Structure 1
Amino acid sequence: MFRIKAFIVFATMAVFNNVALGVNYISSPALDQAMSLKVLNCPTKSTIQLPIITWGGDIATIYANGNQKETSSSSILGKKGLKFSLKREDKFKKQIESYMSCQSPFLRGTLGMVNMASKLLNQDPRTKLRVIYQHTWSQGGDALVVKPGIKSPRQLKGKTIVLQAYGPHIDYLGKVLANAGLGLNDVKLKWVQDLTGTDESPMAAFYNKDIDAAMVIIPDALALTSNGTVGTGSEDSVKGAKILLSTKSANRIVADVYAVREDFYKANKGMLGDLVHGLMLAQEELQQLVQDRNSKKSLYSATIGSSAEILLDSSKAIADTEGLYADAKFVGFPGNKQFFQDPHYPRRFSKLNSEIAETLGSINLTSTKANLEAADWDYDKLSKGIVQTSKAESGKFNQEAVAKIVQKKNRQGNDDDSLFSFEVYFKPNQNTFVASQYEEDFKRVIDLASTYGGAIITIEGHSDPLGYLKKKKNGSSKVVLQRIRQSAKNLSLTRANAVRNSLIQYASKKKISLDPTQFAVVGHGIAKPANGVCGSDPCAPKTKEQWLENMRVEFKIIQVEAEEDVFSPI
């Protein structure tokens, strides 16, 4: 199964019962090693099989098809003269079998899954992959769950992580590790056959003592962590387990797409363009329907009920289908245009494709070269009938709520709760931070802000304590010393603000839009020197290097997804 919700998952949880299981691990998920199928030509068919998976983005596909498996003549796709037979297929290897025989010319999965198949499928020019459409980003449906003692991604080094082979999480894990300065070779990977609901899934394996972390869908993550807090050990939870990072924070990593065979693309480009346009129209109409569900109860109920039946095998699984919808960030026309055509967008197709290829190539799952091609659509033509043609705001942070969280973390003094962090340094008396000097640092922040769009980024200024320590040694009064402390704090805040402003100006010049509300500025002054605290005062730097290390601005990416009033996705 794919990323399904609790209705299906918890129906089978009884087999786990919070005990270690004899999970059968797969030795290698390399598709070219696992499959040796003959490629067949695509026959002419009046009705084409279109794969869907158990994911919120596919609700729009069902809606476009007339809320049924076989295309309704009155549906968005039917009115274009298209005829599809929707087939739910959550096992990616089976999709590939159908693809190679051209039982269906399409592949439906994440960009990472499609990329994993490229080494096998690109060997024949007929089955070469052409990515034609982005459905969604995952914005909460996938999670990295860890056992006690792991507080940040960098602490995964040397740990054993379990995930589904051929599944949606390998590029997710690879990106998180890369941002922590690690690679897939720095951890021990164990592969299982299923994604959820069986004793061959990451959740089942997580109960075993030799597993430190697991890539799971969110219902499994909630079960393992006592509903997203910290696992108590009761029911299906694991004592001390927690969600280290979900796609609610990392909301620009997992991209769901359609790809098609190259021979079919060349022979049917017009029809495929109609399909893509129909899916864009359907996404837009579906989103409006969800907004108007109270005034359009009949159509809304029919849509969600049909999707529940097709995706979850029960028309009564309404709440779980609504949950699937909520976990997906639909991108529609503007998102597709941005993803495939905007050379400035940090999370564009070519950039993700390169990242994924490098990740998979590092463990020999595919070529290290980015070897997927996108369809060359005319987006002016595809905009016909689309209401929203420009990219809307991706979300806004509640700055008051953010400030309270940052203040709370500072009072707690916990410096280990950030997902990622790095520092930039400045010279004595420096108050400006020009892009020419800090460009590489700014590029790194832009990548993190774009990838982890649901997380706060703090910009924390620090000051040199040496002047304060000299004054204290010479017997200055408490009033003077307090003024020096406050002056250092003010100066560090000014510098942090200067870095923030310079960063946003740099991004703007590069035609990259950053959300200013995502950034929280903090001035620590001399309270947190790089070389530690001695008693109630900063430790005196013993070398010039230690002295210079205190003149720094630190970037931290902080997960706040448990705080419901902090971030509101649109």
Structure 2
Amino acid sequence: MAKRLTTFSKFLITLVIVAAIFLGGKWVLDNTEFGQNLLNQAKSDGPEMVKKDSKKSGAGDDDVLKVQIFTWGGYAPGLYFNEGAEPSERSRFYQDYGLKVKFELIDDFDGSRQAWKADEVHLLGNETGAMNTEMEGLAPYDPKIVLQCDWSRGGDAVVVRRDITNVNDLKGKKIAYAGFTPSVTFLVYMLESAGLSINDVEPVEVPLPTDAANAFIGGQVAAAIVWSPDDEKCVREVAGARVLQSTKEASNIIADVYMAKDEYVKANKDKIDKFYEGWMIAAAEINSVPSNKDKAARILAEVTGIPVPDALSAINNVRLTTQGDNMNYFGLNLDYKGMTGEQLYTKMGSEFEALGQAPASRPSWRQLAYPNAARSANAKLTGSTHRAEGAAEFKPVTEETKAKPAISKKLVSINFETGQFELDPNAKTIIDLQFASILKSYGNTRIRIEGNTDNVGSKSSNKA
């Protein structure tokens, strides 16, 4: 059986190979006409070549916009438009806008925050609901949300054991989730869809989403809020386990964004505008052309070190938000009735505060939002590829669809006058309060409304 080389043996072999190349190369340089010509050319052209390479790399250049990324599909547009992580003359940010951009992969959460505070990066990745939990540490730097990167579309999921058939079955059960993270957002909205709250289940808070997955695999909990690809691992390793729902269904609850310090935004408005515009163009191109998505996946894989198929899957697990989507997110489209950044941030702020995970003195949405870049680009970024995502289209209801088990059920009581069918203002208010948020957050899910009637009149007159 073949054995893996130890680190030390690899090191020795590397030294031998390097030494052999060095000695062989030195002999060629010293003893052949070809070698002498190379030496002469290097002496005459060396400084210019070094200068040219430095210009491409942007090394040591204070004029570079430094952007933090996690290993996440939502960051593909920036890497795609930049032709990689490093600033270069091949970058379309540079070619189209004269902007040098460097992406810094910092998967360590706390490390990314420290880098932002120390100005080692200018743009920091965050998530709209969960950022409430960080405001005690971030607020002193006056953060501004400058663009929405994506909506999670499968990156977050709840895995359950075989005896759990819908969300309502989770009542009284142990659910593992990572506190202070978007997992809380998913848990809150999921339970709300069944008329439940965290008080109706037995919450098992853990430090990381991977810990939630391990708790589920270890049989400690009945369900867990996990991040992709741990959902697949849980289903694979626990007999009868399945994904009950994910952000493919709860399509508008987890919104990833970039934020910058207010002082940086004020001093570099032009850079922010150019970066925003380039990012939106990239998102539109990736969303609309499969070959562009493949290219983005290859670049994402190269930068993060994950396999290309995994990178492509990561991109497919998000909605890369466009110019139109950002107009909606920032509340700039007055005709938009769906979920906005303000609604998410405000609702989850209250939820996190109730859990003791967010300070009461956190900034308001008005203090955080910086919609100027989206507003400035709106006249330029036109056409179908830049439009906001449309509403999900559903096929006509079939008998099979009618009989399909629901993933969650919510009971709401409203009253009618005897023999009447019209809703009074009070009933409409109840429906708005109980269902509006669910309709906005579960944009890719069919909502089935069932009810009963009184015994006044004929059977046909009591049917819709």
TM range (shorter): 0.7 to 0.9
**Correspondence for 1:438:** 428
Aligned counterpart, 1:208: 218
1:265 alignment counterpart: 265
Alignment of 1:175-254 (within 5 A): 175-196=189-210, 201-225=211-235, 236-254=236-254
Q: Residues of 1 paired with 2:381 and 2:89: CA distance?
A: 19
For 1:487-566, what aligned pairs fall within 5 Å after superposition? Answer: 487-488=458-459, 490-494=460-464
**CA offsets 1:227-253 (integer angstroms, 9 cap, x no match):** xxxxxxxxx432332322211110011
Which of 341, 347, 355 is residue 339 of structure 2 equivalent to?
347
Cross-structure match for 1:403: 398
1:456 to 446, 451, 457: 446
Q: Which runs of 5+ in 1 are unaligned?
A: 1-42, 226-235, 294-298, 468-483, 495-570
Q: Partner of 1:517 in structure 2?
A: none
TM-score scaled by length of structure 1: 0.64
Q: Secondary structure at the match of 2:110?
A: helix
TM-score by length of 2: 0.77
User: Contact 1:143/1:218 (CA < 8 Å) preserved in 2?
Assistant: yes
Inter-CA distance 347–85: structure 2 relative to 1 (3 Å threshold): same
Larger radius of gyration: 2
Distance in 2, Cα, partners of 1:144 & 1:300: 27
Gaps in structure 2 of 5+ consecutive residues = 1-59
In the aligned structure 2, how far is the partner of 1:303 from the partner of 1:44? 26
- Structure 1 pair 239/380, CA: closer, same or farther in 2 (3 Å)? closer
Deviation at 1:419, TM superposition (A): 4.2
Partner of residue 142, structure 1 = 156
Report Cα offsets for 1:459-480 as digits up to 9, x if no partner.
2242335x7xxxxxxxxxxxxx
Structure with larger RCO (C-alpha < 8 A, sep 6+): 2
Instruction: Measure how far apart 1:378 and its partner are.
Output: 5.7
Whole-angstrom CA distance in 2 between matches of 1:491 and 1:81: 69
- Whole-angstrom distance in 2 between the partners of 1:392 and 1:165: 30
Q: Any conservation in 2 of the 1:354–1:369 contact (CA below 8 Å)?
A: no
The equivalent of 2:124 in structure 1 is: 107
Mapped to 2, the partners of 1:180 and 1:108 lie a distance apart of 31
Residue pair 1:140, 1:246 contacting (<8 A) in 2 also:
yes
Alpha-carbon distance, 1:346 to partner: 3.7
Shift of the 381–457 alpha-carbon distance from structure 1 to 2, 3 Å rule, reads same
Distance in 2, Cα, partners of 1:60 & 1:463: 52
1:297-327 CA distance string (max 9 Å, x none): xx6654332222223x14xx23222211211
Alpha-carbon distance between aligned partners in 1 of 2:102 and 2:66, rounded to the nearest angstrom = 5
Distance 1:356 1:300 in 2: 32
How many residues in Structure 1 have an aligned counterpart in Structure 2? 397
Shift of 1:368: 4.3
Percent of aligned pairs sharing the same letter: 24
Name the aligned partner's letter for residue 376 of structure 2: K
Structure 2 counterpart of 1:91 = 108
- The corresponding residue for 1:504 is none
Cα deviation 1:49-88 (Å, max 9, x = unaligned): 211122221111111212x111232433213122222122
CA distance in 2, matches of 1:370, 1:355: 13
Aligned AA (2:343)? K
Match of 2:369 among 361, 369, 374: 374
TM-aligned CA deviation for residue 435 of structure 1: 5.0
Further displaced range: 374-383 or 351-360: 374-383
- Tell me the distance in 1 between the aligned counterparts of 2:293 and 2:436: 38
CA displacement at 1:421 relative to structure 2: 3.9
- The residue aligned with 1:53 is 70
RMSD, aligned CA: 2.7
